Amino acid sequence: MKYQEGYLGTRAEFGEFIKKAVPELFSGKLTVEGKPVNLPSDADLDYKVKYDEDEQGGSVTIKVAWEKENFEIDLDD
């Protein structure tokens, strides 16, 4: 499932949003559409920063991804 929230504001408002969102992310209090965001402590995180700019505008994206481990149980033992 994908969850997303969008905001529009000034540079100062965005700064305040980031100052609040990052600590909430690491303390397990960040939610998106009411869904808690939980960074795993037992998996490698793949994180990237992307910057695009052209004559029409620009964007900065910070992305974090991880994979869940799949466990196999041998029932033949």
Residues 10-34 pLDDT 10s? 999 999 999 999 999 999 999 999 9
Is the confidence at residue 73, as pLDDT, over 90?
no
Residue 32 in tokens: 């998106």
pLDDT at 68: 87
- For the chain, which residues make up each domain, given as ranges? 11-65
For 40, residues 6+ apart whose C-beta sits below 8 A from its C-beta are: 66, 68
> Is residue 17 within 8 Å of residue 7, measured between CB atoms?
yes
- The CA-CA-CA angle for residues 51, 5, 41, to 5°, reads 75
Q: How confident is the model at residue 47 (pLDDT cuts 50, 70, 90)?
A: very high
> Is residue 45 within 8 Å of residue 65, measured between CB atoms?
yes
**Mean pLDDT of the residues in the chain:** 94
Looking at per-residue pLDDT, the higher value among 65 and 71 belongs to 65
Rounded to an integer, the average pLDDT of 51-75 is 89
